[in-house]
Amino acid sequence: MARTEVRVSGFGGQGIILSGYIIGKAAAIFDKKNATMTQAYGPESRGGACSAQVVISEEEINDPEVSAPSVVVAMSQEAFTTFTKDLDPGCTILIDEDLVQPGASRDKLFAIPAMRLAEEMGKKVVANIIMLGFFAGKTDVVSREAMEQAIQSSVPARFAELNLQAFRRGYDLAVAAA
C-alpha cells in the first residue's frame, strides 16, 4: 500500500476529530498499518472550521502532513470550499448531500445524506459515524472489520451498538450504490 492521505473536514461539534481518530486507529491498531493524525480547528468549540488529517502507509511515515489527499470527506460547505481546491483528479470526495452543494460535477464525488439519516435514527450526533461507514464502503483505505473494532473501542460502551448501527447504515448505502 502506498501512502494514503485522508482529510476529514466540517465544523466543530460534528465529530470530525473523532472520525479522524477512528480512521487512524482502525488502520494502525486493527489493520496493522502505520498511521498518523493531525488536527486543526478554529478557536470556537462548536461551529468553527475543523479538520483531521490522517496519513496511512505500510511504510514508516516520516512526514505527517497531508499535502495530496487521496480522500476528502466534507461535512460542511465551508470545508468543501476550503479543502477541495487544487485536488488531484483521482481524489475521492465524500460529502453530506444536505450540507454541501458541490457546484461543478467531479468524477469521484459521492454523496450521502448523513445528517438526515442520523436524524432518522433519532441521534444527530452519529452523522459522522454514518459518514465513516460510507467512507469504508467507498474506499479501500481501511477494512470494514477494523473500522467496526475502532468504533466499538472509541465510543462509550452504552453507545457502541448505536454507533455500529450508524456505521453499517453508511457502509450498506455505499456498497449498494456501487
| pLDDT (tens digit per residue) in 112-153 | 999 999 999 999 999 999 999 999 999 999 999 999 999 999
> Residue 37 above 80 pLDDT?
yes
Q: Which residues of 135-161 are buried (b: 16+ CB within 10 A; e: fewer)?
A: bbbbbebbeeebbbbbbeebbeeeeee
Give the chain's mean pLDDT: 93
Query: What is the pLDDT averaged over residues 83-92?
Result: 89
> Residue 106 above 80 pLDDT?
no
Confidence of residue 28 (pLDDT cuts 50, 70, 90): very high
Query: What is the pLDDT averaged over residues 74-101?
Result: 92
Distance of CA 68 to the CA centre of its chain: 16
Structural domains in the chain?
4-176 (3.40.920.10)
> Residue 43 above 70 pLDDT?
no
Please name the residues in contact with 41: beta carbons below 8 A apart, sequence gap of 6 or more.
Answer: 12, 16, 17, 48, 49, 50, 51
Prediction pTM value: 0.94
Relative to beta strand 34-41, strand 49-57 is: antiparallel
> Residue 42 above 70 pLDDT?
no
Q: How far is CA 84 from CA 5, 13, 40, 176, 177, in A?
A: 14, 21, 16, 26, 23
The CA distance from 36 to 67, in Å, is 14
Query: What is the pLDDT averaged over residues 51-63?
Result: 95
